Structure formats: structure tokens, C-alpha cells
Structure 1
């Protein structure tokens, strides 16, 4: 396999709009970046499990479903938003992977932007429904901040994703806010035990973003996109990724002391450990995409097994 292109200042950007074919359904699905969607499901699973463990019998499946719609719509919305913003900035001109919708010139940038807005609107509508049901009107402010954070990750004049703060965003919103928010809309309180689960969800999201940015490290440098991975050395980026991906399993050991069946979540290491090995030993883009998929699916399996452990603490 050919290695990912190095940071070579003579590398020429991809030409846009040249012999561009019309986008297919598959292109739009690729634009939604389905490999990242398990990260939107993880906090909902963990938050719901935490709510049931704290108040047995208080399982509000419609509220859980509403929280899932919010999380999925936000994740897809931010993916299309990134496609649009990176495309119009020219960042994706240096991509070595599959071309994006905007960067390839196959779709009018405004169309991609409007698709992002549609998904942000879906998230807002589902969030409004949850607010009405719970009568907790302050949740509207939380939702508005989440949507603004999703847009300004790569959008606006000074996107914070270009300043190395992307991991902060995903940790807060796809970890803490999504998990604790899911707990709250179901039992209208946040038990202390839910915080560790929220931290774990955030760490997994950071891991996926980090390996993605390690893959794009050289090309982001050429494009002037200063992610955390470009600010750190390659070795430093790999260390951070390993920490993000493996620290949730320390949390597993803590929960296992009270919920013995939570130890089953350690089986997710069968996917996460290979992702760490790949990321720490390969610079090939295709390998790093595999590592991204492994840690993303591993995070979801971890969340499902942790939920099982919380709902059924031990076999008696």
C-alpha cells in the first residue's frame, strides 16, 4: 500500500470543478459520514441506562428516541457543515481520500450548506419537542448553543476547529451534554454516576476525531488547518489518541465494582486495541480509516455492554 503523502510544500491542490460528475445517492451517504454516527448513539445509550439505573422503572422510550434524533441530526448536520466550510475554504483541495461534495465541485456549496441546515432544523424540532414534554424551557438555550457550536466548528470567519479546539467541542457536546441531557430529560435529575459515563462518551468522540485528524495531518498543515494533531508531533498525536480510546476502560473497571456485569464492556477492547495498534504504527490513510471505524464501532459496543451491566447488575 502506498503511504499517505507527506508534508510536502510542492504538493499541488486538487483541481475543483474539472470533469466533475453529478453526485449519486452513495455520494450523499458518504457525505453524511455514517462511520461517525455510532458516536451519536453512544451517549443516548449511556444516558438512558444511567436514568434506568438511578430510577428503576423510569424508562421513557419516546424521550430517549427524541434525544437520539437530536444527536443523530446534529452529527449529520455538522458533517455536512464541515463538507461545506472546508470546501469553500479550499481545505479539501489537498485531500488524499475520497473527494467531498463541495470540494469536488459536484454539488453547489449552497446546496450542501442548506442540507446541513435541514439537519440542524430536525435537531432543533426534536429538541423543542423534548422541551415541551419536560417543561424545562432552559433546554432551548442548550440546544441553541449546541447548534451554534456545530456550525462554527469549521464555519464562520474564525472556526475553532482550525485552532485546535475540535476535541474540546466533541468532548463537551457529544460527551457531557448529550449523555447528561439524555439522563435529565428522562428523570429530570442527573445522578453523580452519570458523569463518568458522559466523560467516557466524550473520550471516545475525541478518539475518533483525533485519528481522523492524524490521517489528514499533512494535508491539513498544507491547507493551514491547525487541528490538535497538526499542533502536536505525530508521536504526541498517537499518544493522545491511545489515551482517548483506552481511558473509558478504566471507567469500566470502576463501574464493575458496583455493577459486575459492566465488566463485559471490556470485550470492546477486541476492537479498540487493534485501532490503537494501527494508529500507532501506520501512516497509511486507508489503515487509519480502518482504525477510525474500529474505535467508532468499539465505542458503541462498549456503550451497549455498559448499559447491559447497569440494567442487569449481576447474574444471580
Structure 2
């Protein structure tokens, strides 16, 4: 009979500790672990079903925080989990309801200041919550197994729009699309890229795929095989957020990439931070020594631009030139830049 939260917590801890002990069966040791969720009558419910549901929510939280632990049910937990469940259901319907859309941020030639490309960035136009940024729903998409399906849609839509801009006279644009780790591990990725290009009529040279440095370094062998096949199609490849983590230069040389993107965390404090200046200079020199195009992202000030251009960066992306824009606004941006040119 556990009448207070402290007592139930002690019992839960004791149970977990007992289960941590090895069990010997036929001269072999086996190890178990347990996560426990706790609810209390009558605070968390007066009916058995309500108490079980509350305990299950607490169990969910315990598993989320690393397993082999226990958590007490809290009313706030119920609200958070219910919000998560509602968002998950809405996200599953977002694709078929055509609520997802792409915004485009221009990439500018560092010397001529002409727009030479655009990065496609996904947004969710939620019917009730308005425009939801990707960091609020892409982690959920990865968790529930939707990220590949969403990524496939982004790829097809970006190729279609790239072709539309070509037909409108903007034929020098290369559209960049971010690939998730799960997409890179998809055995059908190369075929999907080929189909997106064929179906849209977008030339392969007008598409660039961006891959996170951190994922490529953790899965180098698999990445080299898949990316080599994509590169064989004529599609450009960029390492995104370069300089934000640890890279093996031996693997970097093997990757069939054509562009390094300097992570915006390194750009933010230049030219004032001598450490970031030194790292940026090293990345630029490394990229050029490997025959790669170097793109700096997150450029917001004239001082950053002046430094990067002086160091020989090839492409610039950031708020200094434009925020990400919806398709129609980006088209008007292109027209304005074209008339100025």
C-alpha cells in the first residue's frame, strides 16, 4: 500500500536495481532492464483505466529520458504527450492535404553578386497553427518514420520548380535539396533522384543535394557508395554545416562532392573572433585545395561578406541578401536581380 510519492519512488528504484542484477541460466549470464511509470489514486484518476493511462504516459517519459529509470505522472506530461500525439496525426495528413510547401533562399556568386542557385527549405502551413518551421516537425517526422516520404516529396517538388524557373528564363539556377540520413540509407534513393529529374525535365546539373557532415562521417562507407551513384547521374553534392563537427579528411577526399558549405556557427562571429577566422580560413583553403566550391551560409552583415569575399569564398547564402522566400516572392526576387544585372 503506497500512500505517498516518496514511497512509490523508493519501491520503483528498488525494483529497477533488482532487475539490473545478472541472471544465470544454463551457465550463461543474462541482463534485464526496466523502465517504470507511476500514477497515484486519486490525483491521477479514480478509475483503473485513467490510472493505467497516466502510468503509461509516465512510462513513456521514462523511456524518452534514457530507460532504466522511473518517472511519476505529472499533469503537464499529459498535456505534452497529447500535443505530441495531435501533431503526429496532423503531420501524417499534411502531405495528402498539400499543407507542406517549399521556401527558397538564394545563393549568390561572391564576386558577381548574381543569384546562381537556391536552397529549398520545407515549411508546414498548418491550418490552425500557421507556418511551422522545420525544426518543429522534422525531428517528429524522423521519429515516426515519415522523413523519407517527406524528403521524397521535397526532391520532386524542388525539381519541378527548378524546371519551371528554367522555362521562365532563369536557366542558370541550381536548386539545392537537403537529404536526411534516413534518405541516404534508403536503397531506392538513386532511383528516386533519377525519377525526379526525368519526371520534371530538370537537368541533373541543375540539382544539388546537401548532406550533413556529421551523418556522412558516422556512415562513411555507405555514404561513399550511394553518393558516388548519385554523382554519376550528374547531380551536384555538397557537405552541409562543414566545420561544426569532426571530419575525417581521408574520407572527405573520397567523397564525390563538389561543394563545402561553411557552417553558419563559424560565420556568426567573424571577423571579430580570431578562432573562427582561423577555422574559416582553413576550411576555405582546404576546400579549394581539393578543387571544391566553397559556400558560406548564415552571412548577415557587410563585415562578414567583405571578409569572406576577401578570403576567396565562391558562394554566399544568408540574410544579408535574402531570407528564405515562398515561391512567388522568390520569383519576384529573381526578376529584380535580373533587371539590376
TM-score by length of 1: 0.28
When Rg is computed on C-alpha atoms for both structures, the one with the higher figure is 2
Structure ranking higher in strand proportion:
2
TM-score by length of 2: 0.26
| Higher relative contact order (CA closer than 8 Å, sequence separation 6+) | 1
Structure ranking higher in helix proportion:
1
